[in-house]
Chain A
């Protein structure tokens, strides 16, 4: 098999293009990984970052594996290739894959070490800062709780006292109402009995007596006739 064979040139071009794309993908992935490290630094309290790196690494490996498998599939599906050609190609692909994978591993290792170094310095600063803040927060919460407890106690006490006074007032009011109702009943009965007991003659006498009293009190005063001219 000669390298001048157009088919071979064509296949090799395809392989190179595939590896170029793979390389671009890896670079992008690497940049994203670095960005993720930066984010991890900011949220270091929640995460150490190592898990993210491992996860990214796994994903990258999976992508490489996927790319490799897909490339194999493309080659396998090419009907123009003979079995021999396919083997040679696969061998070349495997070699290239391993080369790029090694390079990627080295880059990844470097990035991982760098990220771990960066992240490992964060917890000490954060820890001390967080501890101070937590202490402040705890003491603040304690004070607030104490104040809230006191104010609640005072409010409950006040409400209870108010309720007691209201109940007492209500009791007195109700008693007064009951007393007044009884009195009204007694009054009404007395009035009816009295009204029935008074005779017509007594009624008349009482009115005449009232007229006499009105005269005495100067309510009934005779108007003097004006002198005629």
Chain B
């Protein structure tokens, strides 16, 4: 499953995968299991279909147990909320996800949000901890200092 989880970088991707796993799990109880084969072809993305087929064939695992395990694993994923001053490209997401997984392990997804007032940098929240590494924060503190100095000069 490691290979599967490597592909999951954002919370949207995790949600999408969960949705597909649910479709496959439900199909196991339709038309005496025939629906599963059909939906594996038509109901999920190609790479996922290919991956599940290969995994099931390799270990001769029970599809229900296997899919249930994937779902359980996905539910244990943690989310890192990352607010950016720009809308990230695929390349940006790859790099950020790589760094996050390096620091926190595979079972973490990034929940991106966009706030242009940050100027640059980001704010992040993880496990209840919040940090503001944005340019806005830096800019505000620096500007406050400048403003204070200026007011002092004006007062004299």
Chain A positions within 8 Å of B, measured between CB atoms, are: 179, 183, 187, 190-191, 194-195, 198, 200, 202-204, 206-215, 217, 219-223
The tally of residues in B whose CB lies under 8 Å from a CB in A reads 34
| Chain A to chain B: the 8 pairs with minimum beta-carbon distance, closest first | A210-B133, A220-B103, A206-B121, A215-B103, A219-B129, A198-B120, A207-B122, A211-B99
Query: Does chain A have a CB within 8 A of B3?
Result: no
List, sorted by A's number, 27 A–B pairs whose CB atoms are closer than 8 Å. A187-B143, A190-B139, A190-B143, A191-B119, A195-B119, A198-B120, A198-B135, A203-B84, A203-B85, A206-B122, A207-B82, A208-B95, A208-B96, A209-B133, A210-B122, A210-B124, A210-B133, A211-B96, A211-B100, A211-B103, A213-B133, A214-B131, A217-B131, A219-B131, A220-B104, A221-B104, A221-B127
Residue with the greatest number of chain B CB neighbours at <10 A, chosen from A187, A190, A202, A210: A210
Q: Are B121 and A207 in contact (CB under 8 A)?
A: yes
User: Which of B84, B104, B133, B139 contacts A222 (CB under 8 A)?
Assistant: B104
Q: Taking chain A's interface residues, is the majority helix, strand, or loop, or is none over half, making it mixed?
A: helix
Chain B, Cβ-Cβ closest to A200: B86
Cβ of A116 to closest chain B Cβ, rounded Å: 89
| Residues of chain A contacted by B143 (CB below 8 angstroms) | 183, 187, 190
Chain B, Cβ-Cβ closest to A212: B99
Chain B, Cβ-Cβ closest to A183: B147
Complex interface bits, B74-106 against A, C-beta within 8 A gives 1, otherwise 0: 000010101011100100100110011001110
Q: Are B95 and A219 in contact (CB under 8 A)?
A: no
Cβ of A216 to closest chain B Cβ, rounded Å: 10
**CB within 8 Å for A214 and B119 given contacts A204-B95, A223-B105:** no
User: Which of B82, B104, B116, B122 contacts A223 (CB under 8 A)?
Assistant: B104
Cβ of A48 to closest chain B Cβ, rounded Å: 81
Query: Does chain A have a CB within 8 A of B151?
Result: yes
Q: Complex Cα distance A210/B81, Å?
A: 13
Query: Does chain A have a CB within 8 A of B126?
Result: yes
Cβ of A179 to closest chain B Cβ, rounded Å: 7
| Residues of chain A contacted by B84 (CB below 8 angstroms) | 203, 207
Chain A, Cβ-Cβ closest to B89: A200
Cβ of B155 to closest chain A Cβ, rounded Å: 11
| Residues of chain A contacted by B104 (CB below 8 angstroms) | 220-223
| Residues of chain B contacted by A214 (CB below 8 angstroms) | 124, 126, 131, 133
Q: Are A204 and B135 in contact (CB under 8 A)?
A: no
Chain B, Cβ-Cβ closest to A186: B143
Q: Are B119 and A194 in contact (CB under 8 A)?
A: yes
**CB within 8 Å for A206 and B96 given contacts A187-B143, A215-B103:** no
Q: Are A204 and B92 in contact (CB under 8 A)?
A: yes
Q: Complex Cα distance A111/B103, Å?
A: 129
Q: Complex Cα distance A179/B154, Å?
A: 10
Chain A, Cβ-Cβ closest to B136: A191
| Residues of chain A contacted by B127 (CB below 8 angstroms) | 221
